[in-house]
Amino acid sequence: MTKSKKTQPTKNNKKLKILAYCDSPTIETGFAQLAKPILKALHDEGHEVIVVGVNHKNLFYDKNEYPYMIVGDTKSNLSVEPFMHFLLHWDYDVLFTSHDFGVLKNYVSTIQERRKSHDFRWVAYMPMDSDFFSPENLTIIEESDAPYVYTKYGVEVIAKLNPKLAEKVGVMYLPNTGDFKPIDSKAKFYREKIRQDLFKVQSNETFVVMNLNRNHSRKDPFKTLQAFAGFAQNKKNVLLYLHMQEDRAGGAKLNMLANALGIADKVRMPTQFEEGMGFPRSEVPKLYQGADVVVSTTKAEGWGYSATEAMASKTAIIMPNHTSLTEMLGAEEERGYLVAAGMDADHWVLDYSESSYPHPIVHLEDMIANMEMVYADWQKAKDYKGTKTGKKIEAAYKWVNDITWDRTTEEWLKAIKNEN
């Protein structure tokens, strides 16, 4: 590891030059939503911020909403060329990166080389989404001055390889953005309109199951379709809403699969969903307010935005019992229902097109059983009050609202400015 002296704390209110490498704050991805308030807070303090935006395509972004420089690369979604340019040639005090270990490891040697001639502080933030962690990723933790992961689970995985190095790693939860709130229990007609507009159902008498994820092999939406097909048997008042593209490279042909399973008439998807850009942010909170339960059959999760957004909206959740999701919902299922996953050799899968290590897959019968439990409580009370599901919803709402952007942004500012 290349040694470098650390940039000193800004006790004299020194204005810093900060190079940020993350998803472009102009798009609607999870990485972007994380970066946006941090970048704004840094700018508001008077620091000079240049953002190299992954997936940045919007060359004419609103300078009032994003009052710092954002650059991208039309030739590469990862914006490799502009990042390498600023990494090697700009006179920055702090490098802030927010991306996957697998992406950041490609820049470690360049960062080491840059440190031979330039003094800067590297703050790195990465999700951990697998029990299988490559030892070569440890170089990011060794080289960065302030490495952070999303969950305690992430630290535990690192500790299995290097307990001493794991002590260096901090944990920073991702807070609710504030956009997600429970619907007023008295707003029956407003909720009905949401459900008509977004799910095409005519009343609150239809039980809506929602999976809000990418159509990608890692998220495994086909497993959701399979589980719903089993759950929907002999039920006329149930619907599955898949908030994702119907067909995309690296994903499944969802309409075709729904037809094959005989549930096409009970499955809905958005008609417009732009690749790499997400869905209009103003509409997403309504999805949670209109759904009766949010589910996921993902094979891995570094955080799980759909879980915390559902918690903040007081919507019931069913998630796989693996990776970060166990920590988020609670090992005793205090904040939602956990589905068995990876419990035997038949429930692990290796997707060679995606990675070289296996992922746990959910137990279909257990997913169906959990859907049945939530459905039974919904039949007792549409708002789940007085039910087991209702208690989990209230506990989840309290937990997620203890993680605020005000507190988290303050912690990030201290980490970036080396004031911890």
How many CB atoms are closer than 10 A to CB 106?
A: 10
pLDDT in tens, 96-124: 999 999 999 999 999 999 999 999 999 99
Residue 10: pLDDT band (50, 70, 90) is very low
CATH number of 17-175+404-417: 3.40.50.11930
Work out the average pLDDT over 122-145. Answer: 95
Whether 242 contacts 208, CB under 8 Å: no
pLDDT value of residue 390: 98
Can you tell me the distance from the alpha carbon of 210 to that of 99, in angstroms, rounded to the nearest whole number? 27
pLDDT value of residue 13: 73
How many CB atoms are closer than 10 A to CB 40?
A: 17
Among the residue ranges 116-120, 212-216, 258-262, 328-332, the one predicted with the least confidence is 212-216
pLDDT value of residue 174: 87
Mean pLDDT of the chain: 90
What residue spans define the domains of the chain? 17-175+404-417, 188-401
Beta bridge partners of 70: 51
Strands (E), 253-364: 267-268, 293-295, 316-320, 337-339, 348-349, 359-360
Can you tell me the distance from the alpha carbon of 139 to that of 32, in angstroms, rounded to the nearest whole number? 25
Higher pLDDT, 352 or 397: 397
pLDDT at 2 over 50: no
Can you tell me the distance from the alpha carbon of 82 to that of 161, in angstroms, rounded to the nearest whole number? 33
pLDDT value of residue 6: 42
User: How is 170-238 classified by DSSP, letter by letter?
Assistant: EE-PPPP-S---PPPTT-HHHHHHHHHHHH--SSTTSEEEEEES-SSTTT-HHHHHHHHHHHTTT-SSE
Q: What share of the chain is helix, strand, coil (3-state, %, to 5)?
A: 40, 15, 45
pLDDT value of residue 275: 54
pLDDT value of residue 9: 41
pLDDT value of residue 7: 42
Residue 28: pLDDT band (50, 70, 90) is confident
Work out the average pLDDT over 256-279. Answer: 82
Residue 277: pLDDT band (50, 70, 90) is low
- Domain 188-401, classified CATH 3.90.280.10, yes or no: no
Fold agreement between 17-175+404-417 and 188-401? yes
pLDDT in tens, 367-378: 999 999 999 999
Can you tell me the distance from the alpha carbon of 390 to that of 68, in angstroms, rounded to the nearest whole number? 44
Token pair of 351 as six digits: 């997707």
Torsion, Cα of 126, 129, 133, 134 (10° steps): -60
Whether 21 contacts 13, CB under 8 Å: no
Query: Is 126 strand, coil or helix?
Result: strand
Residue 354: pLDDT band (50, 70, 90) is low
pLDDT at 178 over 90: no
Can you tell me the distance from the alpha carbon of 199 to that of 205, in angstroms, rounded to the nearest whole number? 13
Residue 214: pLDDT band (50, 70, 90) is confident
pLDDT at 47 over 50: yes
Q: Which of 190-194, 198-202, 247-251, 260-264 has the highest mean pLDDT?
A: 260-264
Query: Is 295 strand, coil or helix?
Result: strand
Please state the pTM of the whole predicted model. Answer: 0.90
Can you tell me the distance from the alpha carbon of 216 to that of 212, in angstroms, rounded to the nearest whole number? 12
